[in-house]
Chain A
Amino acid sequence: MKSTNQDDKFQIMADNAPVMIWIAGTDKLCYYFNKPWLNFTGRTLDQEYGNGWTEGLHPDDMKMCLDVYLTAFEKREAFRMQYRLKRRDGEYRWILDTGNPWFDGEEKFAGYAGSCIDISEMVESKRLLEKANQELLEFNYRLSHDLIAPIKTVRGLLELSSLSIKEEDWITLSQCHEKIASPIQKLETLIQSILELAKADYQDQNPQILDLSMILEDIKESHSQSLLTNHIQFITELEAKMVTTFLFRFKEILYNLISNSVKFYDSKKEKRWIKIATKYDIRNNLVITVSDNGVGFDAEYQERIFQMFFRAHSQQLLGNGLGLYLVKKHVEKIGGSIKVLSSREDTVFQIIIPNLSI
Chain B
Amino acid sequence: MNPQNLKSILIVDDEEIEFFIAKRILESTKRFSSIYNAVNGKEALQLFKNYEESCKIYPNQFPPSLILLDINMPAMNGFEFLEAYQSLLTTQDIYPSPTVIMFTSSDEENDKEKAMRFPFVKDYLIKPLSPEKVNKLVQKIE
Chain A residues with CB under 8 Å of chain B are 145-146, 148-149, 152-153, 155-160, 163-164, 167, 172, 175, 179, 182-183, 298, 310-314, 316, 321
Contact = CB atoms under 8 A, between A and B. Distances in A.
A105 B25 CA distance: 89
A312 B17 contact: no
B7 interface: no
7 contacts: A156-B128, A157-B17, A163-B24, A179-B17, A179-B20, A314-B74, A316-B74
B92 to A, nearest CB: 22
Nearest to B73: A314
Contacts, number: 67
B75 A314 contact: yes
Given A163-B28, A314-B75, A157 B106 contact: no
B127 interface: yes
Interface in B4-25: 14-15, 17-18, 20-22, 24-25
B105 interface: yes
Interface of B: 14-15, 17-18, 20-22, 24-25, 28, 39-40, 72-75, 105-106, 127-131
Contacts of A313: 74
B74 A156 contact: no
A310 B20 CA distance: 24
Given A156-B18, A160-B25, A314-B40, 12 more contacts: A148-B105, A153-B15, A153-B21, A153-B127, A155-B128, A159-B128, A163-B24, A175-B20, A314-B14, A316-B14, A316-B15, A321-B74
Contact of B129 (A149, A159, A167, A310): A159
A311 B74 contact: yes
Contacts of A172: 24
Contacts of A316: 14-15, 74
B21 A312 contact: no
B111 to A, nearest CB: 9
Nearest to A156: B128
Contacts of B17: 153, 156-157, 179, 182-183
Contacts of A164: 24
Given A149-B105, A316-B14, A156 B72 contact: no
Nearest to B28: A163
Nearest to B38: A314
A163 B131 contact: yes
Given A149-B72, A314-B74, A316-B14, A160 B106 contact: no
A337 to B, nearest CB: 25
B95 to A, nearest CB: 29
Contacts of A310: 74
A312 B25 contact: no
Nearest to B107: A148
Point out which of B22, B39, B75 has the most chain A C-beta atoms below 10 A from its C-beta: B75
